[in-house]
Amino acid sequence: MSRTRIKICGLTREADVDDAIDAGADALGFVLWPGSARHVPLARAVALARRLPPFVTPVLLFVNASPSEVRAATEALPQALLQFHGDETPAQCAAAGRPFLRAARMAPGFDLLDFARRFADAQAILLDAHLEGYGGGGKVFDWSLIPAAAGFPVVLSGGLNPANVAEGIVRVRPWAVDVSSGVEAGKGMKNASLMRRFCQAVRRGDDQLAAT
């Protein structure tokens, strides 16, 4: 049975990085967009990413960053997966020459299949709620907007927490889940117990899927 991968995003503190790893996260996200309350400068992201053991992937999140900013980040952390969460075009995402996730802001009328076709070079499409700003709002979108047979890897995001992530896994069957505010004591400050409970809930969701 395949297992759902876990990404915890918006890490800002060393202790939170260590706790996320201990909880069982497969990837940790560092927000390089200055407009976020969870923003960390590139040098800080590099320092935090140095704490990651083998097989835990750093993810660098960009929102409408310049090519020079993306290039500097990829040179500083060449092992990182990139996540584009703004209004980037397919060409802008591909220009970095690195594996990337592309965020889609889900809302009624949004054509996810066409979006995924345009971003066919993405490793996966990350599905988030459509809010003012770019992510991190802690809001769940209507999962029925996701086509039953998407045909591409999906990362489910948007308002996930220990109480609802198992249901999301059973209903959506994503390749991975992404959480930020749902495991926080405050913006940018993760809670070790919530991260552990979230990862345990993901495994319960996987068990429920296996039993169907």
CATH fold, domain 5-210, is TIM Barrel (3.20.20)
Contact 69, 77 (CB under 8 A): no
Catalytic residue, chosen from 9, 19, 178, 199, is 9
User: Residue 145 has which token pair?
Assistant: 């907007």
Domain locations along the chain? 5-210
What pLDDT score does 133 carry? 56
pLDDT tens string 108-156: 889 999 999 999 999 999 999 866 655 555 678 889 888 876 788 999 9
pLDDT of 192 above 70: yes
Contact 75, 46 (CB under 8 A): no
CA distance 87 to 104: 10
Phi, psi of 124 (to 5 degrees): -165, 160
Catalytic residue, chosen from 16, 128, 178, 199, is 128
User: Residue 74 has which token pair?
Assistant: 């990829």
**Distant-in-sequence, close-in-space partners of 40: CB < 8 Å, separation ≥ 6:** 11, 12, 30, 31, 32, 48
Contact 60, 73 (CB under 8 A): yes
Question: pTM here?
Answer: 0.94
Which residue from 68, 94, 80 is spatially nearest to 31, judged by alpha carbons? 80
User: Residue 51 has which token pair?
Assistant: 């704490």
Contact 126, 104 (CB under 8 A): yes
Diameter of the chain measured on Cα atoms = 48
Phi, psi of 90 (to 5 degrees): -55, -40
CA distance 32 to 61: 6
pLDDT tens string 10-29: 999 999 999 999 999 999 99
For range 176-187, the mean pLDDT:
94
Q: Is 128 a catalytic residue?
A: yes
Which residue from 84, 36, 92, 34 is spatially nearest to 59, judged by alpha carbons? 84
**Distant-in-sequence, close-in-space partners of 46: CB < 8 Å, separation ≥ 6:** 76, 77
